[in-house]
Amino acid sequence: MSKLKVAFICVHNSCRSQIAEALGKHLGSDEFESYSAGTETKPQINPDAVRLMKQIYGIDMEQTQRSKLMEDIPPVDIVVTMGCNVQCPFLPCKHREDWGLDDPSGKNDAEFGRTITVIHSKIEELRERIINNAL
């Protein structure tokens, strides 16, 4: 059976959705494929997110990821929106959920760390639900 494809969606695809894609690949690659995308792109992934993901996990998002539009990713089974406080774009899928995360961009490392920790926990919960067919 092929792995489910999960898309992490946020408007600019530069911070929370990129962290989720990286942690999805790091923590859940045995169960699902991770992608991130947005309705707009940024020229680079948020530098604070890049720095902290390197520091905490040893993941260099700049080497493996880039800001992408929704049309740049394959069709997906699960869509996770980050909580952009705007109307999130529609992407066809079998399951959709919103994680309601505040954007840590421009905030201190402690705020970024809290956001990364929440995303880590939510990725692990999603992985368990996928394993247990509980979506």
- Give the global pTM: 0.95
Number of domains in the chain: 1
Most distant CA pair in the chain, distance: 43
The DSSP code sequence of 35-83 is EEEBSS--SS--HHHHHHHHHHH---HHHH----BGGGS---SEEEE--
Six-digit token string for 73: 């990713």
Q: Residue 65 in contact with residue 45, Cβ under 8 Å?
A: yes
Domain range holding 119? Answer: 4-131
pLDDT 10s digits, 9-63: 988 899 999 999 999 999 999 999 999 999 889 999 999 999 999 999 999 999 9
CATH number at residue 49: 3.40.50.2300
pLDDT 10s digits, 95-128: 999 999 999 999 999 999 999 999 999 999 999 9
